[in-house]
Amino acid sequence: MERSYGLLLLIIKTLAIIHIVQAQSQQGYITLDCGLPANEPSPYKEDSTGLQFSSDATFIQSGKPGTIQPSLASRYIKPYTTLRSFPNGTRNCYNLRVEKGRNHLIRARFLYGNYDGLDNNPTFDLYLGPNPWATIDLHKRVNGTKQEIVHIPTSNTLQVCLVKTGTTTPVISTLEIRPMGKDSYSTQSGSLNLHFREYYSESKTPLRYPNDDYDRQWTAFFSENWTQLSTTSDVGNTNEYNPPKAALATAAIPTNASEPLTIYWSNPEKPDDQYYVYRHFAEIQNLRSNETREFNMVWNGELLPSDPIIPRELEIITIYSVAPKTCPEGECYFQLKRTNRSTLPPLLNAIEVYTVIEFPQSETNENEVVAIKNIEATYGLSRINWQGDPCVPQDLRWDALNCSHVDLSTPPRITSLNLSSSGLSGHIAAAIQNLTQLEKLDLSNNNLTGEVPEFLGNMKLLLVINLSGNDLSGSIPQSLQRKGIKLALEGNPRIFPTSGSPGKTHKKSLLVPIVASVGSVAILIAALVLYLVLRKKKQPTVKVVDPPPSMPTVNVTYGHSPEPSIEMKKRRFAYSEVIQMTNNFERVVGEGGFGVVCHGTVNGSQQVAVKLLSQSSTQGYKEFKAEVDLLLRVHHTNLVSLVGYCDEGENLALIYEFVPNGDLRQHLTGKGGKSVINWGIRLRIAVEAALGLEYLHIGCTPPMVHRDVKTTNILLDEHYKVKLADFGLSRSFPIGGETHVSTVVAGTPGYLDPEYYHTGRLGEKSDVYSFGIVLLEIITNQPVIDRNRRNSHITQWVGSELNGGDIAKIMDPNLHGDYDSHSAWRALELAMSCADPTSARRPTMSHVVIELKECVVAENSRRNMSPRMDSLSSTEVSTTFDSGMIPTAR
């Protein structure tokens, strides 16, 4: 059945405005000159189209740049004279940020140009995610070729992969992504592969951007049996398809008015292809009162069941088939035949013909893709084959993984992860627990430290865990004491059995008992009692003095000193010991809502910060206990460590590791003599703060919500390493199956999640909102709330500035423009997404971490240096851009 669409005048005007703005700004465009040399400017403006081409060096971690032979370069414009080749690895992938559920034009061009002097045109496969897209045969297409589809992504990440199939090396010249209208180019199934796109004019001038808002490329075509019509009047082109006005200003009619207008093409190599055809009509002839133009459409001799077409005067009509059509033996005839009452021949302005291309293989479960990439980033893994989809196609599956495969429509799941002897260091990655279908985990023979995490035992399908040959410490969690788990811990001398007695080594394969020995518990209790008695006898007599009086609330700041190496166990201190360690509270280094913070030393050398509860404090024992309880059970490099605490009557104190370099707010503003940090350090700080929050959300059991994320609670050591602090308002989530944590709203104005404020329902996304505000501060260095601004809240101010499309007006002027604009835009979009008023639309902290790490990679690439930030030293997947191509003849 055939359908035609028209829009109300108001909608037409609105869309017209949107299209004009888009055409001017190239908003949402991804335009990549692949292999652009690092010494050439990026982005640059291509003169014939005005398109802004960017280098792909920032967005792909593999491949080598090249330039076609100088003797050929004069035949091509600049984007096609460079290329990126992929001599290493079987599959190399670009990762593109797109809008899930929206149509996108995806276009890539390939030109060999004898860049390597071997005169050996390559053949290779092109994939879209896990699915084959096309075979690129540059033996047949020595002058280059292109591939173009209209596709609706099923996630916000799109992967375009080049796959080596023989001995020759894959190459790519340009890559483009163009977001399109959401209600256009619909299909019953599959995506649309461009066969040809034409407008009918004798001019022979191709059309694309800026004439076409979506940067479709239109070839001018005309037959000797046709006559051209044209107009200088403005032709309304606004509908769901929005073809260029210039394409509608001309049209073809048959010279013999009694003959049909015939469009013919053949595709004998693929006779079973299915076609979608989009025909664009506009009456551009000034008809007399006695003239009529009316015609029917015929497909391969069959009259299509639709009403006769009567083109509108100077206004577009687009007709398309709801169902795809086939052609006998690949020979296709589309005809327009005048009706008996028509006085004029049929007319056609432009046409688009696509074939159906199916992408049936589902991508790996999206949450597990995020998890495995987070694991990759945490450990700084750099494996050439860890590109593209982790599980599919099966012959290109990432090494170290096994996956389950049910059918094409079911997303594969990761069932086994083997990172044995991979040079891993640090703690066991919290993201592992998001691989919920994991059955086997092998992290043996690495340099992992810290404790065996509780979450491993909570993964119900995980029954084989090999942690041998590391430097793990502590006891075995209760969750791993269930029957059936095979836990290997050999070669971890600091691991001690569940009884708590160190010094005992484990066998190669250890089945953990379900319950601990009652006798060992009794021994522990007796030992604890003896320790307390002996310590009380040894305590010296100390004169008790009152702590300094409380002062008005200011930011907590710490003085300058080297980072302590505190390895002592967290313990309870007597108040007399607190007096000793602070030398009678001699040096006050800051103050917060809890009370004053004093500098101190433990054992005469290890520096600590001692936070004392003031009697006039707005916080009380409940917050004190919450912070102690939380910090006693969390262990993460980006959370401030609790050395111990004092709980003696009305004397309450928390003893932390000493963080000497102040808080993030000071380093954004330069106050307190602090230096203003550059964009690269800001991104690193953002990542580390996000990693700390991610650990609270998914690495703790039960998960934790910080509830007071702000720049003054992000402390920095002398190397600008983040220590997230102040957990007095933190809460476990959920509590006893309740749907929210607390009906009492708490937090800092400006950072407070508006949804939590109105409903009292607290979840992890409340922290995400607060982090979004922090990220906006990092980007803009604007106050969160400024009553002197017309838009007082920072989200309102940024939103109003975004309308101008100039990021320079949003970025902190103290950066003096020294930043990668792509990473800046990406961070800004992420911040606004985090600060969305609706929690369901906010990303998770795991997603935030991945996004920010990609921003770091972009900024580091700009500075021509490799990432070097502890857990950030990974070759993160990255967003890639693509660029247009010259249409091939049909």
**Would you name the residues annotated as active-site residues?**
708
Instruction: Report the distance separating Cα 171 and Cα 82, nearest Å.
Output: 10
Residue 165 DSSP symbol: -
Helices (H), 448-548: 455-458, 518-538
Residues at the annotated binding site for ATP? 611
Q: Which residues contact 434 (CB under 8 A, 6 or more apart)?
A: 367, 368, 370, 371, 374, 698, 846
Could you tell me if residue 423 is left (phi over 0), alpha (psi between -120 and 50 degrees) or otherwise beta? left
Instruction: Report the distance separating Cα 796 and Cα 779, nearest Å.
Output: 15
Tokens of 129: 């995610």
Handedness of CA 394, 395, 398, 399 (dihedral sign): positive
Residues at the annotated binding site? 611
Instruction: Report the distance separating Cα 799 and Cα 724, nearest Å.
Output: 28
- The answer to whether the bond into 393 is cis (omega within 30° of 0) is yes
DSSP calls for 844-865: PHHHHHHHHHHHHHHHHHHTT-
Neighbours of 422 (CB within 10 A): 16
Query: For residue 550, which phi and psi values (nearest 5 degrees)?
Result: -70, 150
Helices (H), 743-793: 754-759, 764-780
Q: What is the C-alpha radius of gyration for the chain, rounded to an integer number of angstroms?
A: 33
Residue 793 DSSP symbol: B
Query: For residue 601, which phi and psi values (nearest 5 degrees)?
Result: -135, 145
Helix count and strand count (H, E) for the chain: 15, 45
- Residue that the structure tokens 């993160």 belong to: 876
Asked whether 91 and 161 are in contact (CB, 8 A), the reply is yes
The residues pairing with 254 across neighbouring beta strands, listed in sequence order, are: 226
Residue 602's identity, in one-letter code, is: V
The 3-state secondary structure of 369-384, one letter per residue: HHHHHHHHHHCCCCCC
Alpha-carbon distances, residue 624 vs 261, 614, 652 (angstroms):
84, 11, 8
665 burial type by CB count under 10 A (0-12 exposed, 13-18 middle, 19+ buried): buried
Q: What angle do CA 699, 700, 701 make, to 5 degrees?
A: 125
Alpha-carbon distances, residue 730 vs 50, 51, 74, 188, 319 (angstroms):
52, 49, 65, 50, 59
